[in-house]
Amino acid sequence: TIPDQNERNRVAESLLALTLKELFEWRLMQTDPNWSNFLYDPATGSVSLIDFGATRSYSKKFCDSYIRLIKACVDRDQEQMLHWSTDLGFLTGHESEEMNRAHLSSGMAIGRPFAHEGIYNFRKQHVTKEVKTDAQIMLQHRLTPPPDEAYSLHRKLAGMFMFCIELDAAIDCRSIFEEQYNKYHFNN
């Protein structure tokens, strides 16, 4: 039987919370977003990870900066987004205005589920279309490749968002992020 919408939302919340926990608490992430790598227990609502073949660790410094970058997206603080993007190595600090605009626009679009106040409906999002134009600009004007950590991390995050879309999820992503952010311990 197909789970009802409340159950699908619960799965989506659990997957998103687990992903943030992997990155910001454990700093160790199973980076293959494939349905067969998770077990869901409907009796408890818990999601468990299986198959750790694509596991990657992340440094404390990277996690400190990355959670600040997400927070800047949540706060719609473009100056801080550029700062933390440069700190992480997504940007050099010498990019053209066009590149910075595309980077900020893309970051805002990707960060929208976490920035949205209240329930975010994944089925009604258009992030892929929005980012497509920005991606073309970034490919033409990029001065440095993204940090190595970004490839596996963004594959996992994109996969989690795709799961949420497939589940037709409508969840409070901001609260999930803020819970993780509020208990995060920074090195400096």
Query: What is the CB-side half-sphere exposure of residue 3 using CA atoms within 13 A?
Result: 17
Q: Could you say which of 4, 32, 77, 168 is catalytic?
A: 32
Q: How far apart are CA 110 and CA 72, in angstroms?
A: 12
pLDDT at position 33: 85
Confidence of residue 188 (pLDDT cuts 50, 70, 90): low
pLDDT at position 133: 85
Query: Is the pLDDT assigned to residue 178 strictly greater than 90?
Result: yes
Q: What percent of the chain has pLDDT over 70?
A: 98
pLDDT at position 2: 66
77 is catalytic: no
Residues 6+ apart with CB under 8 A from 67: 24, 180, 181, 184
Q: What is the pLDDT of residues 127-147, one digit of tens each?
A: 777 788 899 999 999 999 999
Q: What is the pLDDT of residues 76-118, one digit of tens each?
A: 999 999 999 999 999 999 999 999 999 999 999 989 999 999 9
Q: What is the pLDDT of residues 26-81, one digit of tens each?
A: 999 998 888 888 888 888 888 888 888 889 999 999 999 999 999 999 999 999 99
pLDDT at position 97: 97
Q: What is the pLDDT of residues 148-158, one digit of tens each?
A: 999 999 999 99
